[in-house]
Chain A
Amino acid sequence: MELFPLWLSLEVSLVATALTLGLGVPAAWLLGRRTFVGRDLLAALVVTPLVLPPTVLGYYLLVLIGTRGPVGRLLDAVGVEVAFTWKGAVLAACVGSIPLLIRAAQAGFEAVDPRLEAAARTLGRSEWSVFWSVTLPLAWRAVLAGAVLAFCRAFGDFGITLMVAGSIPGKTQTLPLAIYDHVQANQMPEANTLALLAAGIVVVLLLGVGRFARLRY
């Protein structure tokens, strides 16, 4: 049986989670720790992927990165193709999962006593150093929990991926899309195997993070 969709999905969700961490942690820190112009707008923007229908999200993404879209033309100029490639799947997974990470990490940062950061500043540390030595070490459990949720969400994305990356077997067909195709083709044993694999991976991850998060800082 063809396991390509499983490997692709794992790969896509790992890359997407890494990207989500890179973008989401700074955003969560900004939302949790700073006041700035456009804060409310950013906060609202962060929630939209949770409430918009995935197809709507996918549609707008496609408009944005398609060869005639503003971002798409830029990408085209540097020779990067995103739409209907595995990179498109990564983008889709990212957009779908980043709200989960940001919300968890923001709550984690907000729970850090600001006086601890103040103490670090009076002890000669820069903002950058304060973040890495105090804020993040005290909030890492929340960030990790958010990252695992984000990974699971990325792993399971269907609608956005379908719109942005398509469902090209052997190229952009991720595990959820493959399951759908199998069911459509009445290949129930294959669908069953993939579904069990997906459910198993997610359950193991969530159990693992629960155990990990009980450790001390």
Chain B
Amino acid sequence: MLSVSLTKRLPGFTLDVTWDAADAVTGLFGPSGSGKTLTLDCLAGLARPDTGRIVVGDRVLFDTATGVDLPPRSRRLGYVFQGYALFPHLTAGDNVAYGLRELPRAERRGRVADVIARLGLSGLEHRYPNQLSGGERQRVALGRALAPEPALLLLDEPFSALDLPLRRVLRDDLARVLREWRTAAVMVTHDFSEAYRLADRIVVYEAGRVVQAAPRAELLWQPASEAVARIMGIPNILHGTVIKATPDRIQLRWRGQILEAVNSPTHSYLPPPEAPIAFFIRPEYVRLIRKDRGAADPGHHMNLMTGIVVADEDFGTTWTLRIRLDAPGPPAQGDHDLQVEVPHLVYEILEIDRDRRWEFSIHRGSIHVLPA
């Protein structure tokens, strides 16, 4: 159990956040400069909040009300810094052993050997950090932080120092280590897919504030606001007008079309008719209707529309299509209304490079309304 509440005023920036977490891994997600790392530093005692209270488990680490402010060395938190901050003058083994000075020599040696083995670093104990690969460095940094058995692990952008293919491997590596060690962790990242892959609960930061804190699946499908959706980098954030809202469904008008959407189960809300409403459509959930299977069935295909592909981009395994609806008025997103993502294979089979006019449908469950 982790409970964080703090304010800190800096020149031109104010951090004012409150969140708590019972889950194993909490992700702090948001753009650069939104206060995520500063929060970690406050947790670790490397920065001092102006006011607030930090509780890890049953230990109060910081509390302005009672004047508690444990120094970093007494907080028992493991901090994996961005870029790892390994001690360059110590070997991998000595880096891991660094936090174990209080232990008797024999026990320390045993613990280091155990950590080294569990992290797959055997044989590298005597290498210096500059003789290790990026992935090995990450594991040494993890080992150094985990060896003293911290109450909480703090991870600051754990993959920022790595190139892309390695990132993916290490992401799975880290997920495994966190599971095996059963250590609660707080991880800072500005990459939503990283947060989603590793965290059970995600706290979204923007400009020093928390704009949403939710389990990862809830955040993925039900961002609490348009602002959160934009921070997450969701494409196709659109604006329409409410026709009718019930706790289950919302009917809305957009670009001359009437769309049926499912109301958000957790943020179920009932805007009055004619109210503006924001919603988003995931590009991979738009279904193109095959022309060789006869006419589309309105009973089966919801939210049928027709449009023309005005541009497409090849992303290797997928294509992104920009589609403009057959509807009067300016398109919703510059030259197009919708971004649609199709697998490369589908693009080839349907010969989209040649055939630009398409009918498509969107399931009502794939239109996600955003509370105002």
Q: Which residues of A contact B (CB under 8 A)?
A: 113, 115-116, 118-126, 129, 133-134, 137-138, 216-217
Contact = CB atoms under 8 A, between A and B. Distances in A.
B87 A121 contact: no
A217 B89 contact: yes
Interface string B30-64: 00000000000000111000000000000000000
A138 B129 CA distance: 14
Contacts of A138: 88-89
Interface in B98-141: 98-99, 101-102, 128
The A interface is mostly helix, strand or loop, or mixed, namely helix
B71 interface: yes
B89 A123 contact: no
Nearest to B154: A122
A119 B148 CA distance: 13
Given A116-B87, A124-B99, A125-B98, 7 more contacts: A116-B88, A121-B45, A122-B73, A122-B77, A123-B98, A138-B89, A216-B128
B81 A124 contact: no
B88 A122 contact: no
Contacts of B44: 118, 122
A129 B73 CA distance: 11
B98 A120 contact: yes
Interface residues of B, number: 26
B79 A122 contact: yes
Contacts of B89: 137-138, 216-217
A115 B85 CA distance: 6
B78 interface: yes
Contacts of B75: 122
B196 to A, nearest CB: 27
A153 to B, nearest CB: 29
Contact of A124 (B46, B87, B88, B102): B102
Most chain B Cβ neighbours within 10 Å, of A113, A118, A124, A216 = A124
Interface in B137-192: 144-145, 148
Residue in A121, A133, A137, A138 with the greatest tally of chain B CB atoms within 10 Å:
A121
A172 to B, nearest CB: 42
Interface centre among B75, B85, B102, B128 (most CB of A within 10 A): B85
B85 A121 contact: no
B46 A134 contact: no
Contact of B81 (A115, A129, A137): A115
Contact of B101 (A121, A122, A125, A137): A125
Nearest to A138: B89
Given A123-B144, A124-B102, A118 B87 contact: no
Contacts of A120: 87, 98
A123 B85 contact: no
Nearest to B130: A216
Given A123-B99, A125-B73, A138-B88, A118 B144 contact: no
Contacts of B148: 123-124
Sorted from nearest, which 5 A-B pairs have the closest CB atoms? A123-B99, A217-B89, A121-B72, A122-B79, A115-B85
Contacts of A124: 73-74, 76, 99, 101-102, 148
Nearest to B82: A115
B85 A118 contact: yes
Nearest to B81: A115
A190 to B, nearest CB: 48
Contacts of A119: 79, 81, 85, 87, 144
A119 B88 CA distance: 12
B46, B74, B75 — most chain A CB neighbours (10 Å):
B46
